[in-house]
Structure 1
């Protein structure tokens, strides 16, 4: 789908006063400092509606129209994707839907797998500070909040390669979704979790500044998750650790056990009943109730 920059003639962007539109110029002024010198961000682009910000930004990168630090924000995504090609949809202006192009060329390729986890730390940190909501990370890339004593998914992260030298990191966060708008009962939003601030402008700025900070720290450490503090910080905020989980792995294989650690490669280490500690690098994790 082609991104749409201008509203439809019959579309009143202020029809829901609880969901005002973002201001692209204000975001650029706040994030693109000194013309992009000394800052990660080079450009912030805002579209009213598109299929997927990840797909659009990857296409811009492939055509040479986007450099590292380009941010693409959509007021509405009609074909947003999560892991395993799951769809992510939400009403217009009800959340944060954006992608960032990163090119960590000086970091060994073997360490790029930390980028979605790094983004999770950045998003959780930025939202906790600005929305005043306790957030947790479900390995590898889900953002959880607590609503009525129950963990609910309110956000997700999808990192995809963009050519040979780049990664597009996409983020989707439900901000003001009401209970009757949730796509599934297990979903949540910052508003339903009691956020003290649901203004998307400061939320987006806080998340992007947190991402800039963590990405800079990780890159300066050559992608070393230990030296940058990323491994320790992710583990501290990961609700998967210490839980009994089932890992559904490629090839219709699954393992069950206690999630005991995040290793230096960002993998989840599961201790099985057989006494084996097995690192999981890819798969779907289900939190199980303790026996």
Structure 2
């Protein structure tokens, strides 16, 4: 049974699901999140998370939280959408998914004591927390294609499980994460995408996964802030490189200005840049670009 089989009940605005009443979903494999239960478990005294809101639909959780940040919202707000109509990824790519088929959420951060030049580590921190948590809870291998695309292997091929987008707004950082959880093969936006279900995950309950990711992120974020954003002292850099599927691979990097760099990805430096060694032995740090893993020749 799919969403197309039955008409959905009417909803208007940014309504949450934290109320009793008739069943608000039509696909029994995709129940809605329980906002009240999430708040009870995550919004605790002394914890990072200060608010958790679940909305039925919105254009972009990042855009909504960015507006709150400009209005002075405190650190720790979490906004989760059951469906996004204008989800954005890196390089301003658009993507969408069926309602309640994934985790689509953003968090508002104000990293006191961390120099602004180290804010660039936050998308890597989100990716590291998500990959570690999903791998542990779902019992599958989840890797990170530089800088922060979540990857799994399905039928012997690497596929994208999710992605991360961070942006500055009102002096804060808004970090958004999208993860495909229960998408079926026919629902994938592109053949190179995947979902936890298609990867054979042991757990696909979104509430369990969301709680675990937010708790893992809060722990890593606390360590990173305590180290003033230093990726070495906080342990973030080694934790990331241990899961980075790009390292040690032949790559082709599409650079701004229609330039291309081909070589081997040999390191991630202290600024989070991918270091690519070209055939002439020169090491090139790459701060931004679209990386393609290529098969070694021979």
TM-score (norm 2): 0.92
After TM superposition, give the deviation of residue 159 of structure 1 in Å: 0.5
Asked if 1:192 corresponds to 2:208, the answer is no
Indicate whether 1:30 and 2:41 are aligned: yes
Question: Who is 1:114 aligned against?
Answer: 121
How is 1:224-239 mapped onto 2 (pairs within 5 angstroms)?
224-239=230-245
The 5 A counterparts of 1:138-287 are 138-163=145-170, 165-287=171-293
Aligned: 1:20 with 2:31? yes
Whether contact under 8 Å (1:2, 1:51) holds in the other structure is: no
1:86: how far off? 0.5
Residue 102 of structure 2 corresponds to residue 102 of structure 1: no
Of 101-110 and 68-77, the range deviating more from structure 2: 101-110
Deviations 1:252-284, CA, capped at 9 Å, x for gaps: 111010000010111100001121101001111
The Cα of 1:4 is off from its aligned counterpart by 4.0
Distance 1:39 1:124 in 2: 22
Counterpart in the other structure of 2:5: none
Shift of 1:3: 3.1
CA contact (8 A) 1:221 1:228 kept: yes
State the number of aligned residues. Answer: 283
**Structure 1 runs (4+) greater than 6 angstroms displaced:** none
Deviation (angstroms), 1:148 = 0.8
Three-state SS of the structure 2 residue aligned to 1:285 is strand
- What does residue 59 of structure 1 align with? 67
Structure 1 residue 249, shift from structure 2 partner: 1.0
- SS, match of residue 166 in structure 2: strand
Change (3 A) 1:6 1:32: closer
Q: How many angstroms apart in 1 are the aligned matches of 2:128 and 2:139?
A: 16
Give how far 1:105 is off: 2.5
Give me the whole-angstrom Cα distance separating, in 2, the residues matched to 1:271 and 1:6.
50
CA–CA separation in structure 2 for the residues paired with 1:169 and 1:3 = 20
- Deviation of 1:6 after TM superposition, in Å, equals 7.0
Q: Render the CA deviation track for 1:149-183: whole Å, top value 9, x for unaligned.
A: 111101000011112x2110000000000001001
CA separation in 1, counterparts of 2:17 and 2:180? 23
Any stretches of 5+ residues in structure 2 without a counterpart?
1-11
Q: For residue 225 of structure 1, report the CA deviation from its aligned partner.
A: 0.3
2 CA distance for matches of 1:98 and 1:104?
A: 19
Secondary structure of the 1:237 match is coil
**8 Å Cα contact 1:82/1:157 also seen in 2:** yes
**Matched residues in 1 for 2:38 and 2:221: separation?**
19
Q: For the Cα contact (< 8 Å) 2:35–2:53, is it kept in 1?
A: yes
For the residues of structure 2 that align with 1:207 and 1:177, how far apart are their CA atoms? 19
- 1:96·1:175 contact (CA, 8 Å) conserved in 2? yes
**Cα distance in structure 1, aligned partners of 2:13 and 2:289:** 32
User: 8 Å contact 2:14–2:58 — kept in the other structure?
Assistant: yes
SS of corresponding position for 2:48 = coil
- Taking structure 1 as the reference length, what is the TM-score of the superposition? 0.94
